[in-house]
Structure 1
Amino acid sequence: MREIFIERREKILRIAIKENGKLVDCLIEEETSEALPGEIYLGTVKNIVPGIKSAFIDIGLSVNGFMSLDSNSNIKQGQEVIVEVLKEAIGDKGPKVTCDFSIPGKYAVISSKGKGVTVSRRILDEAKRTSLMNEISPKPEGLITLRTNAAFGKIDDIKNEIEVLHERYLSILQKGKFLNKPQRIYGENLLLNKILRDNINNETKNIYVNTKEDYEVASDYINIGEEVNVHLYDEERSLFDYYHIEKEILSLRHKKVQLNSGGWIVIDKTEAMYVIDVNSGKHTKGKQTEKVAEETNKEAALEIARQIRLRNLGGIILIDFIDMKSEEDKLQVLNILSKGLEKDKKRTTIYPFTELNLVQISRTRSGKSIFEYIEEDCELCKGKGNRLSLEYILMLIRDEILRYQSENSIKDFYVEINAQYETYIREDIFAFLSSIEALEKKIYLHFVQEVEYFKLEPLLFKKQIESVENYLVN
């Protein structure tokens, strides 16, 4: 069973996906002026550099996009072009773009690369492929590619979606002709639409949202016959806090992940890659050692696949499994790892075991890792470490206050926060109280070294309040 949780607050959209009650995906998107993958822009070719076979495109943002000229060699400087963002900007390097833009739907994709109708190679049933090709008529503009889901969809639903996609495609072409300056012309609410498009199927049972707008968007994605319930959550507590997702997100900061068998994995980030170490936690000898290694590695492979998706790890991932001699055991571990990542939408390649029992994974970088949203540089570490961001801590404090308030009418709270945040909070106490929604409450604030993030305690009795009255925030 799959459940989707969609929480929108201020400039942040967070989406969590659970399968059989277990968190498997957590995606975060911040409202920003940066170009995001999938967005389509009208741009102007500013510069062509033959030496690196690239063109630089002004798309109306602070940095130009860059485009490979391998398949777009006919463009000229000063020309207006419609481009789709493939990868977001990294550092001083602008976003990667392409002239071959596309608009995806649940059953089909319309792209500018050609004309006619094609069928996904993943649909292996020849009779089904032939039936789809006979039913779907080509459009005068754009190439229609029927996705794998089309094999399970009703023809009328597929045709209706293609009509909608084609209208969007024509609208993009029109904007490209008549707009006179670089700007975004398609891509509103991309992350939400992508998640709904890729995850609503016969396994999906519930969708929880916290805004009426997203409730309507999610409801529109439900086809007749699909038994998916869309719930509008409108309580004061945040949706992620109410469904205990916040605690799971917070636990992702820990490098060490415990396994049920008693073993564990440790996830570290270097400048070049992510390194994952597998430990059994057991001291055994002889044949038993091989058995423990096999069982621990299999359990670790499944958890590693989950952690890669949850933490959105990208680039090169190196896994140091416990030594195994059996080639059959190694193959089983690779199969478990592959199966755990088969629902992953990022392009992922798993390489065979090396002689040192190492497995390398290459996973497309897309979007930011979850840590980039909940962590910030630690100045005490002089840039060598990270700490939980103050903004995220204040959100967690707010959630706890609202939880206690929903259960009891409590107005007094004692809050301990790690002392490293003291300077920033004291700079603007009003902003602190406002962000935790405590302007009409009494907050007793104490900065200490011992607490990891924060600790909050409701004050119910007079003696409790008297013991901390010196910490009252005025």
Structure 2
Amino acid sequence: MYPFISSLEIYNLLFESLLFCNLKKGVLSLKEIFVERQENILRIAIKINNKLKECFIEEDTGEPMPGEIYKGVVKNIVPGIKCAFVDIGYKENCYMYIDRKFKNTNIKKDDHILVQVVKESIGKKGPKVTNAVSIPGRYCVLNTLDTSLTFSKKIEDENIKTYIRENLKKPKDIGFMIRTNGERVPVEIINDEIESIYKVYENIKKKAVYSLKPGLLIKTGGVLGRILRDKLDEDTIKIYVNNLEDHNKINNYISNTKDINVYLDPYEGERGLFDYYGIEKEILKLRNSKVQLSCGGYIIIEKTEAMYVIDVNSGKNTHNNSLKKTAFITNMQAAEEIASQIRLRNLSGIILIDFIDMTEEEEKSKILYKLKEGFDGDKSKTVIYPFTELNLVQIARRRVGKAIYEYMDEPCRRCHGKGRSLKLSYISSLMKNELNKIHQEENIKHVYIEISEIYKDQIKGDIVSFVRDINALDKTVYINFVNTEDYFKVEPLIFMNQIENLQMYKVYG
């Protein structure tokens, strides 16, 4: 009799087999993209060779999001900080830097202008916008600041550049930049995209003229559109998606894209897509400040008011007799892992790394090279500075979206904001997955939940909403609030004596 094998185990076996075959053939990587939408939140994970490499989250809050284009009205100009404040129809004015490179030094109060969101609002600070509006495609980007034709720095072949220049059909009144993908397709395809993007731009201008009030003119596809444009390549073998609308959008995109060959796999299971493929557990690990290295060392990632600080420690890496060799091996592994963690957690701003002390300049150069290598293909502009005299490395990374913590964590209610705890909404989604697993096994009518008492007021304040969020409106729910942070447990109640013993915790049903 054969042992039972789940569909997920079959998937992993097939993937490992495919990976082994492709590695033998010389294929470097196999990329998979997982697209999960749950109510007002979209999460996208990218795995390469079955290892989680990047995770993107977008929450539908109704706030201005990066990439969106608005009609704005200049409300105030503050010369001292070279900044203009612009009304785009949002509750708070946006801010826009004034600089010659943006060709906006002549703007005046009450001017009507086109602006694009660069960064979403943070706290009481409104969104950051720019008048340097751009509309990205897969092969080119429309730019409004000038009328020139430019090329991605990664396109180095002058013959290709000359051929594109001579055969490109570019409108004279607008600028375009040819992206790296444009090097790999016939120029006719680039021309088709230019025509399509230019029509979008013309429609935006018309809409702005006829709009009486400031407001949104166009969305640019959000994080899903950005992933399709920037991350979909010849290494991508499959996209998993759990939402019909997203499925149709992705299918339409890949059907009209000539330089990729990817299989689109619709997911219709009861459990969450991320939960089913084990991605949820990997994301939860990103909350840990400590990350182990295979050599026995580890890194500690901490956030301060002004920056992120990463400390490298040798830990249990005691295999080498030489302290110098131990430091170098640990630092090399740390450099690779740090780049991976920064991208996974979407850390930005100033990042300070305290490596184990080294004296050899050659070894320091290798560490910096390994660190820079980890950001290959990263669309967030990242600058890595040389080692300081104290063996510190500084990284400046452009902010694109929020760090993953901001979607999962909130200030701790018990310690008055000095620490962080999981958001109740995030725990609710995890509980929903657990209940779906239970429901798959048998039709359970009574459910027992243990959860940290820090969520007691939130849950009891609106018990029906909580029960609805965990998809348990058809069940009798028992909740025990315990004195343990970031903890929860969901158990089915099968026997009558269990149900009788837990009546004191009954909150719904």
Deviation at 1:329, TM superposition (A): 1.6
Identity of aligned residues (%): 50
SS at match of 1:382: coil
Deviation at 1:359, TM superposition (A): 0.8
Of 41, 58, 78 in structure 1, the residue corresponding to residue 87 of structure 2 is 58
Of 40, 47, 58 in structure 2, the residue corresponding to residue 11 of structure 1 is 40
- Equivalent-residue separation in structure 2 for 1:268 and 1:206 (angstroms): 35
1:67 equivalenced with 2:96 (yes/no): yes
Letter matched to residue 111 of structure 2: Q
Match of 1:186 in 2: 218
1:299 equivalenced with 2:368 (yes/no): no
- Equivalent-residue separation in structure 1 for 2:469 and 2:128 (angstroms): 36
Kept in 2: contact 1:416–1:451 (CA 8 A): no
Match of 1:92 in 2: 124
1:378 equivalenced with 2:407 (yes/no): no
Match of 1:262 in 2: 296
Please give the residue correspondences for 1:28-67 in structure 2 after superposition, counting only pairs within 5 Å.
Answer: 28-67=57-96
Deviations 1:25-46 (A, max 9, x none): 1111111232222111111122
- Equivalent-residue separation in structure 2 for 1:96 and 1:467 (angstroms): 56
Match of 2:385 in 1: 351
- CA RMSD in angstroms, aligned pairs only: 1.9
1:311 equivalenced with 2:345 (yes/no): yes
SS at match of 2:322: helix
Deviation at 1:422, TM superposition (A): 1.7
Q: Which runs of 4+ in 1 moved over 6 A?
A: none
Match of 2:245 in 1: 213
Provide closer, same or farther for how the CA distance between residues 215 and 166 of structure 1 changes in structure 2, counting only shifts above 3 A: same
Kept in 2: contact 1:12–1:28 (CA 8 A): yes
How many residues matched?
474
Provide closer, same or farther for how the CA distance between residues 239 and 286 of structure 1 changes in structure 2, counting only shifts above 3 A: closer
Provide closer, same or farther for how the CA distance between residues 129 and 473 of structure 1 changes in structure 2, counting only shifts above 3 A: same
Match of 2:26 in 1: none
- Equivalent-residue separation in structure 2 for 1:18 and 1:137 (angstroms): 37
Match of 2:18 in 1: none
Deviation at 1:463, TM superposition (A): 4.7
- Equivalent-residue separation in structure 1 for 2:323 and 2:341 (angstroms): 26
1:431 equivalenced with 2:460 (yes/no): no
Letter matched to residue 45 of structure 1: V
Deviations 1:279-334 (A, max 9, x none): 11137599521111111111111111111011111111111111122222211111
Deviates more, 1:419-428 or 1:444-453: 444-453
The gaps in structure 1 that reach 5 residues or longer are none
- Equivalent-residue separation in structure 2 for 1:168 and 1:304 (angstroms): 40
Deviation at 1:86, TM superposition (A): 2.0
Of 223, 229, 246 in structure 2, the residue corresponding to residue 197 of structure 1 is 229
- Equivalent-residue separation in structure 2 for 1:218 and 1:261 (angstroms): 41
State the TM-score, normalized to the length of structure 1: 0.95
1:471 equivalenced with 2:505 (yes/no): yes
- Equivalent-residue separation in structure 2 for 1:260 and 1:22 (angstroms): 15
- Equivalent-residue separation in structure 2 for 1:389 and 1:427 (angstroms): 16
Kept in 1: contact 2:422–2:486 (CA 8 A): no
Deviates more, 1:337-346 or 1:217-226: 217-226
- Equivalent-residue separation in structure 1 for 2:485 and 2:110 (angstroms): 58
Provide closer, same or farther for how the CA distance between residues 39 and 263 of structure 1 changes in structure 2, counting only shifts above 3 A: same
Of 479, 483, 488 in structure 2, the residue corresponding to residue 454 of structure 1 is 488
Deviation at 1:92, TM superposition (A): 2.9
Letter matched to residue 369 of structure 1: A
Provide closer, same or farther for how the CA distance between residues 428 and 45 of structure 1 changes in structure 2, counting only shifts above 3 A: closer
Match of 2:370 in 1: 336
- Equivalent-residue separation in structure 2 for 1:408 and 1:56 (angstroms): 58
State the TM-score, normalized to the length of structure 2: 0.89
Provide closer, same or farther for how the CA distance between residues 174 and 468 of structure 1 changes in structure 2, counting only shifts above 3 A: same
- Equivalent-residue separation in structure 2 for 1:121 and 1:262 (angstroms): 39
- Equivalent-residue separation in structure 2 for 1:370 and 1:358 (angstroms): 25
Kept in 2: contact 1:56–1:65 (CA 8 A): yes
Kept in 2: contact 1:119–1:133 (CA 8 A): no
